[in-house]
Structures are given as C-alpha cells and as structure tokens.
A and B are shown apart, each in its own frame.
Chain A
C-alpha cells in the first residue's frame, strides 16, 4: 500500500492548504463566533473544483478520488472543522450516492449542478428514534401515481438549511424492517418540504445542524434512488467513504492541536523555563505526534484501498475510531499545555477542543465502529479457523 503522495496529490494539497491558510483563515474565527455559514467560501471551493472531487469529468467533476478528498478535508479542518462538514457530506455521501446508485438520467440532471457547487448535497438519515439503529427509521414514503409522498422528520441534518439536494432514507414498506427502506433525492422546493428546528451545538458553530420536515412532501417517482428496498444498502454502503471523511476531519483537528501546543509551549515560560523544556510537556508532545502519525497512516490506507476498489469497511471504521479518539486526546493535552488561556476564546485551541468532540459521535459513534470492526474481525477468524 503506497501512502506516498503523487506529484498531482501534492499539487492538490498545496492548493487547498494555501486556500485554507489564506482565504478560510481570514473568516474562520468570526464565522465560528457568530455561527454563520460561509457562502463565499463554498463558492470559492466550488470554483476550484472541490465540490466534485470524485465525480467523473463527464458529469462536471475532476475525478480525483478519495485520497485527494482526504487531503482536502485534512487541510480544511486544520483551519475550520465546520467547513469540512459540508465538504465531506457533499462529496463522500451525496455525490457518491447519486453516482453509485442513481439512474443515468438522475446523474445527468443532478451531478453537474452538485459538482459545480450550485447545489449543496446533504444526507438525511437520523430521526428522533433512529440514531445508531438505522433500521428503526419511521419516515414513510408512499407511491401515488408518478410521485412518492413523504411524511416524517429528520433531525441533526448538517447544512440542511442550505441544501440543493437532500438524500433521504425513508420507509417504503412498513412490514419489512431492513428491506423496507428506500433512498430518495429531494429538492428543497418539492412541495411539503421545510426546515424545522435549528440545533444550538457545543461546537462546529459555523456548520448548521437542522431538522428537516416532510409533510405530504411530493417527490417525482424518478427521484427514487436505485430501487425500492435498497435504502439500507445505500445508507450503509456509503458509510465507508463518510467515515474516511470524518477521520480526515479529526486528523486536521489533531494536527492543529499539536501545532498550537508546540508553538505556544516554545514561547511560554514558567519557573524560568519554556514549557517545552518540562518533561511533562515533552511526553504529551511525543504522544500527540505518534498518535497523529498512526492515525494518518490508518486514514491514508483506508483511502487508498477505497480508491483501488478494495473492500475497506473494517479499515474505514478503524481509521475513524482511532483518529477521532486521538483527536480528542490531542485537543485535551494541547489545551492543558496552554493553561488558563487555552480555556478562553482568544486561543484557537478552545474552538478545536469543542469541535473535536462530535467526531466520536456522528457518522457512527465509536461504539458502533467497534461493533463494525469486531464483526469483521470475527468473520475473518471464522474463515481462517472455522468453528
């Protein structure tokens, strides 16, 4: 598995790194303080091609693959983790689902608009009674003529209020739990769609998280993605990419935690010494740096495997589980090294500390990742040493 960057990947990394440090950094603090979504930032990212990274050229994308998306999300998250949410969901879930499961007609109609950033794609799965347990979703979709009528609500939907395309998982057959689910592509101007409650979160303040309400929402039958009953398969099948995306986000957060810790610790003196000269600080730095390297290797490996078309469910879950955990220890230790000032809004680490937390919750909690990983590991043993 080659995790070295190609020339092309280094060029992509340089573009997004320069953009993040210059354009995004200029607005990130205020956007997170005021809780505003950065329309211009997404417009610029779209113009540079970042909203269609994995979409083939014939649908208006640049066809670069998961690995390039990882580099992109890592660099964005080093500056603003909120911005990475929409970029990740849009590319690794929405674009991916339309591309992999959509009809040719659907691809031609929607992908160019999505890849150009004109329509931001969001992913609506979670419901009040269905979080980790995807099979518990209740939102209904009933076919009537050449339309489906959707009823129910989705909660915690990232960027739901800015969506141009909403991928919705709903129930077409109340009798069958997992096989009774289907995926739909909904547009915000389909009649009966509205945005409900807006969440006030601990972190990711510049990324909106909202309820989406569907009241007799009429969706053209052609907007069924794949076939009826494929909802669960689509929901779970897209998770590998989504998880690699969140691992990349956590990786960027962790890297900034380390950067800030070292830069601060070199300046700050107590007891006549720089903080980085205390062994207590050094050990934290060593642990952070080692964890970040290990996390990067896991994440890059999963991305390379996905680009090569290899099954990578276990590897994607491992990358997400490990990276999101070490990101949280990294922000914790970095804030500790900052001392009292780290607890104030004056220092970056305060925001990154809050932003890191949710990475262990969304796109499958850490407990769910362990469920996935252990299931795969046991299966491997089952094959090697049949009971």
Chain B
C-alpha cells in the first residue's frame, strides 16, 4: 500500500509572531519552525497503517516549502516515514492554497498513492483549504477532521469518525482517499534517537517546478492576500470594585450604559 503524508513547515506554537516590514509575511529571525501539529497526526496514522498492513507498504512524505524545510522533513523521516519528496522553488514563496494544491497533486500523482493523510489545517495561516482543493485536483473523495480511522480488512474502504460540532459523524469512503486529521486521532510518536540516526540515510527527492513539468507557478485562484495586519489590541480591562456585590453590579450596569453604551 502506498501511503502519502503531507507536511508543512510552520512557526512553533510558542513563537512570538511579528509582521515583517512589507506587511506580506512574518519576521522569521529567531523563530523556531516545526512540523504543522495537525500533520503530525497524519504522519502517525500513516505509520500505523503501514505497520498494520505490512507487506511492501511504504510511507512517503511530501512537503512543499523553502529550503529550510529539510529539518522538518528529516524529523518526519526520523519518526519512521520511509522517504520524502521536497518541492522547493523560489517561485513558490508565499503560495496560495490553489498553487500548493496544484503542485502537490502533480508530485503525488507521480509518486502514486492509495491513501493520503494531512492535517486539518496549517496552524500558521489556518486556511484549511489545501486538502479540499487537492481532493478535487486528484478527483478522489476527501474526509476532513478525522478522529478515528480504520481500514476495512479487504483494504477496499476506510471507515472514519469525523469531528463535527457537538459530536462525531461516522463515514465510509472508498480508496483512494485523502483524510485530514484532527487532534485526538492518535498520539504522535517522538522522533527517537535511532530514528534520527536512520533518517540520515533516507532519501529526500528535491523537485522544483520545472521537474514537475510547470513553466511557472500555477495560478493562485481567485483570492489574493493583500496585507498582513497585527492582532488588534484588546481594550483596557476595568475592574469594578465595591464592598457589597450589589453595589458592584449597579456600578457595572452604569458603566455598560453610560461608558460602553452597550445597554
């Protein structure tokens, strides 16, 4: 079985995000980058599936990103992924989900696939679009926000739970399928030291746009990012204090009426 896991290099969840001077990205100096957390669930599920199916099953990671993505790709290899494709081209700086889905679709088709796992969204720009556009491009079913994944014994279909508001929805999908993973699907393994050691010898196939048969970066679709703005500052918090609670409530009501003018 040929299993593809997608991974994206994103700023660490703990990183302090500052907008760059041009307002078209973030300041990367001093920021640590990691594998998109949701992609880690995908990697783990891919590895578990390989362990379960056995035989000549193989997990291949596909990552589109700058040169520096090598470190997160190696981390995936250290977790147990067999090999990787790194799509890297200067023309892909700050790509839209359309552009990325187009190049991913090409690379993944070249690799061949039975099942694709990815995160439910990038924790950086939170667009959650790539997987759906990719499903369209590849013309395969997609199941988003998976919290449970099982493969039928005859490997013909996947049975999944997907997280929806207030509960889970149980669905079935035929293969090949793309599955975007939600927190709770599994507990991703750490990259062990023996894994890190073995990752050194695993293959990363680096491909640029020309290698994938593109003359230029594919169209970015119908939306365009105009500008990045910093988080708006929250207003000052005012504590209402009084000896008796009822006086505090009266004062609060007065403030809401007279100052905030919301009641």
Contacts and interface: CB of A to CB of B under 8 A. Distances in A.
Interface string A29-65: 0000000000000000001111011000100001110
Interface residues of A, number: 20
Contacts of A57: 197
B194 interface: yes
Contacts of B192: 15, 47-49
A57 B70 CA distance: 24
Contact of A49 (B70, B194, B200): B194
Q: Residue among B34, B74, B194 with the most chain A CB within 10 A?
A: B194
A18 B196 contact: no
A14 interface: yes
A293 to B, nearest CB: 15
B197 A12 contact: no
Given A14-B34, A14-B75, A63-B197, A7 B190 contact: no
Interface of A: 7-8, 10-12, 14-15, 18-19, 47-50, 52-53, 57, 62-64, 68
Contacts of B263: none
A5 to B, nearest CB: 11
Nearest to B75: A11
The 8 residue pairs across chains A and B that have the minimum distance between CB atoms: A49-B193, A62-B193, A48-B192, A15-B190, A7-B71, A49-B194, A62-B197, A15-B191
A220 B70 CA distance: 50
Interface residues of B, number: 15
Interface in B161-201: 190-197, 200
Given A14-B34, A14-B75, A8 B196 contact: yes
Nearest to A57: B197
A15 B196 CA distance: 10
A18 B13 CA distance: 12
SS class of chain B's interface: helix, strand, loop or mixed?
helix
Contact of B193 (A7, A18, A64): A64
B191 A11 contact: yes
B196 A11 contact: yes
B197 A10 contact: no
Contact of A12 (B34, B70, B196): B196
B197 A7 contact: no
A57 B197 CA distance: 10
B78 interface: yes
B40 to A, nearest CB: 10
B71 A62 contact: no
Contacts of A68: 193
Given A7-B70, A8-B200, 14 more contacts: A7-B71, A8-B196, A11-B71, A11-B78, A11-B196, A15-B193, A18-B190, A48-B190, A48-B193, A49-B194, A52-B193, A53-B193, A64-B193, A68-B193
Contacts of A62: 193-194, 196-197
A337 B230 CA distance: 33
A137 to B, nearest CB: 35
Nearest to B196: A11
